[in-house]
Structure 1
Amino acid sequence: MRRRRFFAWGLGLAACAAGCGTERFAGSAAGLRTRFSINPQGRRWARVGQALTGAARAAGYETTGGTRIMVTGLPALAAAELNNGQTLLDTATPLSRLSGEVEVVVVPARSPFRDFEGFGAHLLARPGQTQLAGGPQGEPDHLLFGLIARGLGADTRQLDYTDYPSSQEAVTALLSGKAAAATGPLADWRASIKAGRAKALAVSSARRVPGLDVPTLLESGVRVDFADWAAAFGPEHMPDESRESAIRMCEDVTGSAGWEEACRSAGWISIPLSGADFEQWLGSEVERTRAVLRDLGLLDTTKATTCWGSCGNGH
């Protein structure tokens, strides 16, 4: 493994104090609703926070003052593990999974790997001789390569992974021949794929991306369903009444046409899951993240699954 760089995303979750909104107003047919204040946990989740706020307003909710809702996601979860911090399950109240960015495995247009099967066979046989590129170590791109290696049965600790601060630098590295394959958000690779400079081998989502003739990892024989997800959380020790009203709001909003349109416009997938189901899923996602970080040599913890959502095993 080449370079080691860890980015602490400073969770600060305990500081997300409850502003238990007691002001109510007459909304739509849903009746009286609590006021909400939606706050992204840093610039990384600003667009999702803005989209959730806009869709909530369109659905008739007040979004100034009141019960505080934080928007954060997978990179924060991984950062807490890397820095021996408490997980989102310990420091906040899980409310609802919201959206995800699909990742894509790409190779240069003239790569000898004509499909994912060829790439996977090479990675399995020579993991230390398959140059990989992506974002910072321990973040979603790196996690995905770790999950792919685990799914193939390759020696994950031998992965030859070079991390780059931005997707654009990873794109440049791949196209200049510094890497055999890369992974990253599909949105960041679309231009290179469309221009014929890069070839997409597989997408990380459970279903194919409309308009893109590229198989999923599941179709390619790797039991991995993955997205760089974002979710809504309440403050720690959130009162039951506030939690229930916040979950109802998230369900209303993520089920709305406005939210679906916001996700389409941003290039995200809508992956709503709320309440107890989301909390259970989040527990399995914590375990999966710990396991792959351990397999990558970044963390010493217990094993977990490599799949969630659509693998048919309940994760």
Structure 2
Amino acid sequence: MKISSPRRRQFLAGSAAALAAAVLLTGCGPAAQNPNAAGSASVAKELTIDAPSGPGSGYDQTARALEKALKGEKLSDKIEVRNTQGAGGTVALSQFVQKSGTKDLMLGGLSLVGATITNSAPNKLSDLTPVSRLIGEYEVIVVPAASPYKTLKEFLDALKTKPGSNPIAIGNQGGIDHIWGGKLVQDAGVKPTDVNFVTFSGGGEALVALLGNKVAAGIAGYGEFADQVEAGKLRILAVSSDKPLDLAPDAPTVVSAGYPDAVLVNWRGIFAPPGVSDADRKALSDVFSTLTQSNTWKETLKTNGWSDQYLDSDKFAEDLKTQQSSTQEILTTLGLA
């Protein structure tokens, strides 16, 4: 399975989108002169993006892709990526909710929604300021190349016999990996709480466990295992999509493997601290809107196998309410909440 190489970055100089971003960042247009939009002219010039997990994780990869793309499109001058690990991202959330202003941003997603529920966290993502929903990533379940399990059915049939005999590496308790793993084994007739799900704080640690045969399988976003799959060290049993992925067209989908109810996509978006003004919230949302329309970002999606899940700030806030409710329902059904 070959992974597409990124094409040459193309800038949007001269386009209406780039002009709008320039107005925001330079303060030379009406937004900078509007007293109700004080501070919005430079909301993205200097940023810190908090990835609520360890190096190599899906959040970390997304943060670093944003750093590269924002700089490439000249939408920001200076960006620092910071990793904050612990409790499925709820440690990062508890720290971030104390921040203010627009210089600090944080990534969040369906995985963190689940972690806040499972960990009975005092804060939830809706306590922050939703800026833009950005991407979706499909999950994969992989085994080491030497594994005796060639298909998803073979692996799940083995779990039926001895549910705790084949440990499965996941990102965090109650996160997207756990949710999808629970759905998979439940569809196969196995009680999710009987399965030995082993949590790791980052994709790098899970990868070491897989390659060292410390676990029988691993579940994560496709991008976390892509290099090792291409190198032939890991084999994909299934992806959580209903159609083959462009970057892994030969990998079975859960539908083709016989588990259609296990289709699931993980979304990730960007958040600002609580209390950000409407003017600054809109200015930040406009910056990321400009980014998502660029060829640079479209190539980023293609290279990483991510789907475009963009929503602006207002629509993102509404969707987050629905996601919170549906995730609570899923976790309760699976015995994880």
Q: Same fold judged by TM-score > 0.5?
A: yes
Aligned partner of 2:300 in structure 1 is 262
Q: Which moved more, 1:264-273 or 1:179-188?
A: 264-273
User: Are 1:35 and 2:73 counterparts?
Assistant: no
Return the match for 2:66 from 52, 61, 68.
52
RMSD over equivalenced CA pairs, Å: 3.7
| CA distances 1:28-85 after superposition (whole Å, capped 9, x unpaired) | xxxx984323431247456544543554455564667984562312354344331422
Q: Write 1 or 2 for the structure with the bigger share of helix.
A: 2
| One-letter identity of the residue aligned with 1:134 | I
Q: Which moved more, 1:167-176 or 1:76-85?
A: 167-176
Checking the alignment, whether the CA contact within 8 Å between 1:96 and 1:275 is kept in structure 2 is yes
User: Are 1:287 and 2:325 counterparts?
Assistant: yes
Q: Distance in 1 between matches of 2:203 and 2:244?
A: 22
Return the match for 2:284 from 238, 246, 252.
246
Q: CA deviation at 1:257?
A: 0.8
Checking the alignment, whether the CA contact within 8 Å between 1:132 and 1:162 is kept in structure 2 is yes
- Unaligned runs of 5+ residues in structure 2 are 1-23, 31-36, 54-58, 80-100
Give the alignment of 1:110-149 within 5 angstroms: 110-123=146-159, 127-149=163-185
Aligned partner of 1:272 in structure 2 is 310
Q: In structure 2, the residue corresponding to 1:80 is in which secondary structure?
A: helix
Give the alignment of 1:25-104 within 5 angstroms: 25-26=28-29, 34-37=41-44, 38-42=47-51, 44=53, 45=59, 48-49=62-63, 51-52=65-66, 54-56=68-70, 59=73, 61=75, 67-68=102-103, 70-74=105-109, 75-81=111-117, 82-89=119-126, 91-104=127-140
Q: Distance in 2 between matches of 1:256 and 1:48?
A: 16
CA separation of 1:225/1:73 partners in 2, compared to 1, >3 Å: closer, same or farther? Answer: farther
- Unaligned runs of 5+ residues in structure 1 are 1-20, 300-315
| CA distances 1:226-275 after superposition (whole Å, capped 9, x unpaired) | 45543112332443333333333322211211112234455644432234
Q: CA deviation at 1:94?
A: 1.6
CA separation of 1:41/1:175 partners in 2, compared to 1, >3 Å: closer, same or farther? Answer: closer
Q: Distance in 2 between matches of 1:142 and 1:191?
A: 22
TM-score by length of 1: 0.68
Checking the alignment, whether the CA contact within 8 Å between 1:146 and 1:295 is kept in structure 2 is no
Residues paired across the two proteins, number: 274
| CA distances 1:89-136 after superposition (whole Å, capped 9, x unpaired) | 1x1122211134443111233444332233344445653444322334
User: Are 1:233 and 2:271 counterparts?
Assistant: yes
Q: Distance in 2 between matches of 1:152 and 1:200?
A: 18
CA separation of 1:173/1:64 partners in 2, compared to 1, >3 Å: closer, same or farther? Answer: closer
Q: In structure 2, the residue corresponding to 1:223 is in which secondary structure?
A: helix
User: Are 1:156 and 2:192 counterparts?
Assistant: yes
| One-letter identity of the residue aligned with 2:106 | V
CA separation of 1:292/1:153 partners in 2, compared to 1, >3 Å: closer, same or farther? Answer: farther
CA separation of 1:35/1:155 partners in 2, compared to 1, >3 Å: closer, same or farther? Answer: same
Aligned partner of 1:181 in structure 2 is 217
Q: Distance in 2 between matches of 1:22 and 1:109?
A: 49
Identity %: 26
Aligned partner of 2:56 in structure 1 is none
| CA distances 1:273-301 after superposition (whole Å, capped 9, x unpaired) | 234432333223323443454456553xx
CA separation of 1:106/1:80 partners in 2, compared to 1, >3 Å: closer, same or farther? Answer: same
Q: CA deviation at 1:223?
A: 2.8
